[in-house]
Amino acid sequence: MSSFRTAKGGRIKRKDAISFSFEGKAYTGVKGDTLASALLANGVHFVGRSYKYHRPRGIMSAGQEESSALVGIDRGQGRYDTNTRATTQELFEGLKAQSQHCWPSLRWDIGEMNSLASPILSAGFYYKTFMWPKSFWKRVYEPIIRKSAGLGRAPRAVDPDVYASRYAHCDVLIVGGGPAGLAAALAASRSGAKVILADEQSEIGGALLSDPGSRIDDEESWSWLASAVVALAADENVTILNRTTAFGYYHQNFVGLVERLSDHLESPSSNLPRERLWRVRAKRIVLATGAIERPLVFAGNDRPGVMLAGAARTYLNRYGVRVGDKPVVVTSHDSAYLTAFDMAENGVGVEAIIDLCTDVSPELLKGAARLGIEVLPGHTITRTKGRLRISSIYAAPIEPDGSVGPERTIDCDALLMCGGWTPSVHLFSQSRGTLSWREDIGAYVPDVYAQNASSAGACDGHYLLSEALNGGAAAGQAAAIEAGYKAGKPNTYEVAEEATCSGTLIVELPTGANPARIKAFVDFQHDVTAKDIRLAVREGFHSIEHIKRYTTAGMATDQGKTSNLSELAIASKTLSRPIAEVGLTTFRPPYTPTSFGAFAGRSRGNLFDVTRKSPIDSWAEKRGAVFEPVSLWRRARYFPRDNEDMHAAVARECKATRSSIGISDASTLGKIEVVGPDSAEFLNRIYTNAWTKLGVGRCRYGLMLGEDGFIFDDGVVGRLALDRFHVTTTTGGAPRVMAHMEDYLQTEWPDLDLWLTSITEQWAVIALNGPNVRKLIEPFVEGIDLDKQAFPHMAIKEGKIYGVPTRLFRVSFTGELGFEINVPSRYGLTVWKRLIEEGARYDIVPYGTEALHVLRAEKGYIIVGQDTDGTQTPDDVGMAWAIGRNKHDFIGKRSLTRPDMLVSNRKQLVGLLTRDPKNLLEEGAQIVATAHPSPPAKMIGHVTSSYWSETLQHSIAMGVVEGGRARMGAELYVPMPDGVHQVQVVEPVFYDQEGGRLNV
């Protein structure tokens, strides 16, 4: 057995040995250990490095508030967990852990040299350094910063685990399985209410797991705990969830829970989810989340071996581990005496209790004297010694004037500190409740509730065991009554010989040294010191939210659980304002880090982002097409031949389409059938232009706006009959357009008589473009006269092609003679193959989305979402002609009359031609009015589309520019990484401006 394991006691199974490794070295623990308790049992305190200065760090706590003992866990088979708290990771056979943020090793870390640069690495140093020389930023400073940023390493393999989720409703949700939570659950369950009890630890019990000596109703606390858990487990209305963290409290009593199902197992079944996400809606919630012990702020308070006193008590009583053989306790709160007494009773020689307060309870002094522990009231710690483990401390009396008297050295191998307790009000604050400051306990507690909830126990500022039990019982009973159940009088619990639990809020210890020359840490992970807090205040940051961000205090993985109150207190003292006036930081979900896998659940891969494929996709894949995702669809981007690159392939495809025939798969376009007597009136309200007079067999380009007057989607609509329309949308816009239409039909215009049907997958669409298209299909089309006069541009007819029913559109997105052949999906591939076969004599060429983009840009056709960004009106993109001015109303009409919509300097769509024809602009590049503007440069627009035009032998681009139409012919400038490019503003139609090629 390890040298720091006690001879008896604890809740571990001493006979069940478990082998594990840390930093490649083998160790032995026992069942019931956490990684932290097993390391401490083996005498290992030094487990990590801090973020900024790479200072040695040890295990500081025993729970989720841990900020220093973060390790990587290699679970094999691609499973690697970074930033795992050693204090919460249950030990299992073969566990492999390694330290983080150090190189080349934990003991010898070159990053420790950062401490030498600490004078220039103070709060906000990144705002004040790296200014010179300017050219170094990209080449030197930024690469160094990026390489050093981050903590731990992300796993490189795909997550092999599975995750589950479920919804649950209950009458009473109790968060926290300590004494208050258990008492609440017992009281609520007796009424018959449906109860869920959730606790983040491996077993229910909370603070009782570390307190075997208390007696509840004349019964040992652990015996009472076991009985309570058995009673709750036997109640069919109670669900007990251990290893479950409530990470977020949202609107209407909606709480997110994450249940860890297999992290404690050596070889979990492949069918067992790793985690389960619970989405719980409760009528009433009882928060029994406990409190977090506060560290003290003094010089050298971060050395390995310095830890929270309550954590040391947990390791002793729950895990049977002595954290040291000659510890010193420093405290401003009575609870630390319990740790010292328990350690002494287990044979540990406590060197001294250094009490910052002078008025120590006589009962505590008697208890210390009985155990032979020296108590130093009214003393402070001025500094500590030790490199990889604390070896001694310097204690000194605090004089009446606040100065420090002569120092005294005390050798020790552990320093156990307690600065009081901070109620865990994170979930309460997430619920939008209001906190109030209690001066008597030096902490914020719940005050005004925003939702149907209550708090009990330590999270409500009641630290005594009797207060927790009786407060929890009352809260559970009240919750059940408010949920609609009848409940009798709650149990009244008696606790024998209860110790006092009072203290004084002292955060920063008095020291004789110059405070500017010592490192007294507030945030142990981010290396934020008391000096940094004071510096932030001196530099003008008086809001606690600004101080937090300037110093990064409370922004580490623990989210300030141990540092927030210290930060507040130091800022309060520096500002000479009461803590209650300094303000509070905002608590946001998640309460502790929560895996992406839990949120994703089974919605991963194709179950999350389904890859939709058209009926013609397989043909494109066999022909070596390069694909790109377009919304959920996979579309062929280009079809390379003979090792062509994309530029060459797209140039060939464009040239073929302009000179003969190009064929493209357009099946992914959204398609909606609108049928009913009021279908024309419905479209008249949805679209900007008029539809009631559109003739049967004709098509019209439709522009759809949101209520804000900005472009929402576009497409071509064909009228098949007086009461039937075939509507097309953009590929990515189909789902939202369908939802948009349904929303208005069902909620705004339920009196209209029509039906909406999504037919996107019912029809395969083959787009044929080019001067020879009519020649190709005319012999194989039945029932449709393809003559120019009989079938003009923007018409739709129904007939057959190759004997297959078709809806044939005469439309074009390329500017060439074009037909879109709609056939039932099951015939799509067959018709495509026939067209490829028959088109061989015309040198038909399949083209992808990239060529399509080039061809449409040459004609000045917009793509919604590329040439628009949600802030463009029809007039902005040159489509004022698409607005039905005489229409009574349509969605967005009123917004178009707002003053901001009518100003002349709105960003308008224009064409852009570079001075050098071969210069290709970057999409998204900003546009400025002068070549070398003085900073801050005014951005007057940006490039939305940019391509090389094989047809024009010139690069072309479109962009939105302030007052663009008034700038025709003007010279503007586009700064890019390779230099500033001069461009001329032109009309956005670069090719066949008269439209003659469409109407052949």
Mean pLDDT of 940-967: 96
- In the chain, the amino acid numbered 770 is G
Mean pLDDT of 589-618: 90
Q: What is the CATH number of the domain that holds 356?
A: 3.50.50.60
Side-chain-side CA neighbours of residue 394 (13 Å)? 17
Q: How far apart are the first and last CA of the chain?
A: 93
Helix spans in 318-359 (H): 335-345
Q: How far apart are CA 958 and CA 867, in angstroms?
A: 8
Q: Kindly state whether residue 870 falls inside one of the protein's structural domains.
A: no
- Which candidate, 864, 852, 846, 877, places its Cα nearest to that of 941? 877
Instruction: Report how far apart, in Å, the C-alpha atoms of 682 and of each of 108, 373, 714, 945 are.
Output: 73, 86, 16, 33
* Residue 928: pLDDT band with limits 50, 70, 90: very high
Instruction: Report how far apart, in Å, the C-alpha atoms of 821 and of each of 702, 765, 814, 828, 842 are.
Output: 20, 5, 15, 9, 18
Contact 702, 687 (CB under 8 A): yes
Instruction: Report how far apart, in Å, the C-alpha atoms of 743 and of each of 713, 736, 885 are.
Output: 16, 10, 25
Task: Write the CB contacts of 563 (distance below 8 Å, at least 6 apart in sequence).
Answer: 67, 295, 522, 523, 524, 528, 553, 554
Assign 162 to helix, strand or coil. Answer: coil
496-537 pLDDT, tens digit per residue, is 877 777 888 888 898 877 777 788 999 999 889 999 999 999
Q: Is the pLDDT of residue 126 over 80?
A: no
pLDDT for 2:
53
Mean pLDDT of 539-543: 90
Tell whether 509 and 412 lie within a shared domain: yes
At 737, list the tokens. Answer: 């357009």
* Residue 79: pLDDT band with limits 50, 70, 90: confident
Contact 355, 376 (CB under 8 A): yes
Element (H, E) at 657: helix 646-659
At 204, list the tokens. Answer: 């229910």
Tell whether 849 and 931 lie within a shared domain: no
306 versus 153: the higher-pLDDT residue is 306
Contact 494, 517 (CB under 8 A): no
Q: Kindly state whether residue 837 falls inside one of the protein's structural domains.
A: yes
Tell whether 661 and 805 lie within a shared domain: yes
pLDDT for 77:
78
Counting every residue, how long is the chain?
1000
Mean pLDDT value across the chain: 93
Tell whether 170 and 297 lie within a shared domain: no
Contact 382, 513 (CB under 8 A): yes
140-173 pLDDT, tens digit per residue, is 888 877 777 778 888 888 888 999 999 999 999 9
Q: What is the CATH number of the domain that holds 847?
A: 3.30.1360.120
Q: What is the CATH number of the domain that holds 962?
A: 2.40.30.110
Q: Kindly state whether residue 868 falls inside one of the protein's structural domains.
A: no
Tell whether 361 and 393 lie within a shared domain: yes
Task: Write the CB contacts of 694 (distance below 8 Å, at least 6 apart in sequence).
Answer: 680, 700, 717, 719
Q: How far apart are CA 291 and CA 459, in angstroms?
A: 5
Instruction: Report how far apart, in Å, the C-alpha atoms of 85 and of each of 38, 76, 427 are.
Output: 13, 18, 21
Contact 213, 344 (CB under 8 A): no
Q: How far apart are CA 766 and CA 144, in angstroms?
A: 52
pLDDT cut 90: percent of the chain above it: 82
Tell whether 51 and 67 lie within a shared domain: yes
Q: Kindly state whether residue 453 falls inside one of the protein's structural domains.
A: yes
444-503 pLDDT, tens digit per residue, is 999 999 999 999 999 999 999 999 999 999 999 999 999 999 987 778 999 987 777 788
pLDDT for 117:
72
Task: Write the CB contacts of 55 (distance below 8 Å, at least 6 apart in sequence).
Answer: 49, 112, 115, 302, 527
Element (H, E) at 740: helix 734-743
Q: How far apart are CA 592 and CA 85, in angstroms?
A: 11
665-682 pLDDT, tens digit per residue, is 999 999 999 999 999 999
Which of 858, 882, 911 is a domain's end point?
Answer: 858
935-949: burial string, b at 16+ Cβ within 10 Å, e else: eeeeebbbbbbbbbb
Q: How far apart are CA 669 and CA 580, in angstroms?
A: 59
Which of 482, 509, 532 is a domain's end point?
Answer: 482
401 versus 331: the higher-pLDDT residue is 331
Tell whether 569 and 699 lie within a shared domain: no
Mean pLDDT of 560-589: 90
Q: How far apart are CA 439 and CA 461, in angstroms?
A: 11
- In the chain, the amino acid numbered 520 is A
Q: Kindly state whether residue 602 falls inside one of the protein's structural domains.
A: no
Lowest mean pLDDT among 425-434, 464-473, 553-562, 851-860: 553-562
What letter would DSSP give residue 744?
I
Q: Is the pLDDT of residue 1 over 70?
A: no
Burial label, 702 (beta-carbon count in 10 A; 0-12, 13-18, 19+):
buried
Q: Which long-range contacts (CB under 8 A, 24 or more apart) does 441-447 make?
A: 441/503, 442/503, 442/504, 442/505, 442/565, 443/291, 443/565, 444/584, 446/287
Q: How far apart are CA 963 and CA 603, in angstroms?
A: 46
Helices 335-345 and 362-370: crossing angle in degrees, nearest 10, is 20
At 34, list the tokens. Answer: 């956490």
Q: How far apart are CA 941 and CA 910, in angstroms?
A: 10
Backbone angles phi, psi at 744, to 5 degrees: -70, -40
686-723 pLDDT, tens digit per residue, is 999 999 999 999 999 999 999 999 999 999 999 999 99
Q: Kindly state whether residue 871 falls inside one of the protein's structural domains.
A: no
At 322, list the tokens. Answer: 């002595």
Tell whether 122 and 171 lie within a shared domain: no
Tell whether 785 and 659 lie within a shared domain: yes
Q: Kindly state whether residue 658 falls inside one of the protein's structural domains.
A: yes
Side-chain-side CA neighbours of residue 128 (13 Å)? 11
Contact 525, 54 (CB under 8 A): no
Q: Is the pLDDT of residue 999 over 80?
A: yes
Tell whether 782 and 825 lie within a shared domain: yes
Tell whether 775 and 655 lie within a shared domain: yes
788-809 pLDDT, tens digit per residue, is 999 999 999 999 999 999 999 9
SS (HEC) of 429-458: HHCCCEEEEECCCCEEEEEECCCCEEECHH
At 30, list the tokens. Answer: 């026992």
Contact 751, 744 (CB under 8 A): no
Domain coverage including residue 100: 1-146
Strand partners, 913: 984
Q: What is the CATH number of the domain that holds 687?
A: 3.30.70.1400
Tell whether 452 and 560 lie within a shared domain: no
Work out how many domains the chain is built from and give that number: 6
Backbone angles phi, psi at 219, to 5 degrees: -130, 140
Which of 827, 858, 889 is a domain's end point?
Answer: 858
Contact 820, 766 (CB under 8 A): yes
At 812, list the tokens. Answer: 């074009």
Q: Kindly state whether residue 872 falls inside one of the protein's structural domains.
A: no
Assign 734 to helix, strand or coil. Answer: helix
Contact 158, 79 (CB under 8 A): no
At 557, list the tokens. Answer: 């993985």
Assign 428 to helix, strand or coil. Answer: helix
